[in-house]
Amino acid sequence: MEKSRPIPTFRRSLTQATIALLGATALGIAACGGGGGGSGDGTIGNERPLDSSQPASTSGQVTVFGAPLNAPWGLAFLPDGRMLVSEKGGSMAIVSSDGARVDTRLSGLPGNIDTSGQGGLLDVVYDGGWIYFTFSELGAGGSGTALARAQLNGNALQNVAVIWRQAPKVGGGIHYGSRIALAADGTLFLAVGERGVEANNGTSRGDGSAVQNSANSIGKVLRLNRDGSVPSGNPSFGANAAPGLWSLGHRNPQGAAVRPGSNELWITEHGPQGGDELNVPAAGANHG
């Protein structure tokens, strides 16, 4: 193992954002260009004006990866500077701190990962000895986004547990969303897509999979404790609401970050042509 060294916060964020952008762009072209409507009209939804007091730009360093990766989707730094990289096909690599090589690929990942369409092994974050990752999970009715956590021991993931599952599972291989953002208060946000079930316009559906239906977790943002339980302070969507709901009416969020020094979540969503959005989903907000 390489000697542990601090990684500047900006460099860490920039690298993760760059990898996420490239991965989401490659995987989401069909989603952006496809039909089926959407909540997007090219505007910023349900939020206040951006804070112009923040610096307009910050210098950074770009490092070109030489490691042979297969459809990388998410990236997380380990304490020693190496990187965990999820690969869409269902594998997770540890990449050297200089990005030049794959040191190993980990065993212990779930065996029921649906890699068809836009599915696969998706986001990954590291937090104090725990690795959190999302994947498209096969099950009754089709597949849906799932959130798991595990601990790293050598070249293996151990104590792997799925701590949240999207419901219902549906057919089709698009719009899993799937970004994890850790908040300063010890909770986490999870952004999940509407799985192509509808055009994100609130149309009622008999199968209970409408984006506007708070009884499911289709096209939602969740706020959870890091063991998957529901924290205090979440908004109320009624007695029959799915556990952990934070906001609803989302299409395919594939970018998420908590604003530094706060618990304010920002997300980007793939819309149809001309309909991508930047949103700040407040508690109880409806972006549909």
> Which residues are part of the catalytic machinery?
175
- Please give the backbone phi and psi of residue 122, each rounded to the nearest 5 degrees, phi first: -115, -110
Q: Which residues pair with 138 in a beta bridge?
A: 143
| Burial label, 154 (beta-carbon count in 10 A; 0-12, 13-18, 19+) | exposed
Work out the widest C-alpha separation in the chain, in whole angstroms.
57
* Among 33, 38, 40, residue whose Cα is nearest residue 194: 38
Q: Do residues 195 and 253 touch, judged by C-beta distance below 8 A? A: no
Q: Do residues 115 and 107 touch, judged by C-beta distance below 8 A? A: no
DSSP tag of 231: P
Q: Which residues pair with 221 in a beta bridge?
A: 191, 247
Instruction: Please state, in angstroms and rounded to a whole number, the distance separating the CA atoms of residues 273 and 76.
Output: 30
- DSSP secondary structure of 10-49: HHHHHHHHHHHHHHHHHHHHHHHH--S--S-SSS-BS-PP
Q: Which residues pair with 139 in a beta bridge?
A: 142
Instruction: Please state, in angstroms and rounded to a whole number, the distance separating the CA atoms of residues 151 and 252.
Output: 29
DSSP tag of 226: T
Amino acid at 155: N
- Spatial strand order in the sheet of 177-182: 177-182, 187-192, 220-225, 245-248
